[in-house]
Amino acid sequence: MNASKQARAVLFVCCLAAVLQAGPARAAPASAGASPAAAPQARDGQHDFDFEIGTWKTRLKRLKAPLTGSTTWLEYEGTTVVRKVWGGRANLVELDAAGPAGRLELLSLRLYNPASRQWSLNVASVRGGTLGPPTVGEFKDGRGEFYSMETMDGRAVLVRFVVSDVTADSCRFEQAFSVDGGKTWEVNWVAVDTRVKDGAGSGAAR
């Protein structure tokens, strides 16, 4: 072994010994007076739908055949009536609309869960007569997003329902489906409500 190689070998052994003696690095202990950061308090959303109590003129369109590549939309006009239940911790929505494709009569029972601080939206049609799987979610910054997993034609479909553009006299609803776990969405239902001035209720989602 020549001198330069030997010197490098000795230096390596010395460095290795120093590392082994030092042992693993330890984090500095927290000061005695420090306290863990307080978790943010979850907001109470039981009044999120108060803005919608009353009577609304509804204009909506729905995709005729979702998840088939169809681009044919069916349009309807009608009335939506929203009533408080349980002092606002639930509400009942009745939609009656008609168009060239026929009539839509839907009911939505919205329930607030004070433990999870989330809403579940449970929809039934007059033809089906039973409530479908609930979409569950909450409002953030004036926008509500609600999700469910359903089976359609033998395949799993992720459902998203969005409440947006909320003002004292108008709001927008949108439903979309995803078959790739939420990477892409196909919108299949869009409704815009305008308050009937004689209807009760005011305010906006918080």
pLDDT tens, position by position, 2-11: 433 343 443 3
Instruction: Provide the 3-class DSSP secondary structure of residue 52.
Output: helix
Q: In this structure, are residues 166 and 205 in contact, taking their beta carbons and an 8 Å threshold?
A: yes
Among candidate residues 115, 118, 136, the one with its CA nearest the CA of residue 48: 118
Which residues is 84 bridged to in the sheet? Answer: 91
Neighbours of 124 (CB within 10 A): 15
**Measured distance CA(159)–CA(148) in Å, rounded:** 5
Q: Quote the domain boundaries for residue 161.
A: 50-195
CATH code, domain with 108: 2.40.128.20
| pTM of the model as a whole | 0.75
The H-assigned helical ranges of the chain are 3-22
Residue 93 in any domain: the answer is yes
Q: Which tokens sit at 167?
A: 């003002």
Per the structure, the count of domains in the chain is: 1
- For residue 84, what are the contacts with CB-CB under 8 A and spacing of at least 6? 50, 53, 90, 91
Residue 6 in any domain: the answer is no
Query: Backbone phi, then psi, for 181, in 5-degree steps?
Result: 75, 20
Residue 60 in any domain: the answer is yes
Q: Give per-10-residue mean pLDDT for the chain (206 aa).
A: 40 37 46 58 86 97 96 98 92 98 97 96 94 96 96 94 97 98 98 83 41
Residue 79 in any domain: the answer is yes
**Measured distance CA(59)–CA(67) in Å, rounded:** 23
Residue 38 in any domain: the answer is no
Residue 18 in any domain: the answer is no
Query: Backbone phi, then psi, for 68, in 5-degree steps?
Result: -120, 0
Q: Which tokens sit at 43?
A: 């907001």
Residue 87 in any domain: the answer is yes
C-alpha distances (whole Å) from 16 to each of 25, 26, 61, 151, 186 are 15, 19, 72, 61, 60
Q: What angle do CA 187, 135, 66 make, to 5 degrees?
A: 30
| Residue showing tokens 């009569």 | 105
Residue 142 in any domain: the answer is yes
pLDDT tens, position by position, 140-177: 999 999 999 999 989 999 999 999 999 999 999 999 99
**Measured distance CA(9)–CA(3) in Å, rounded:** 10
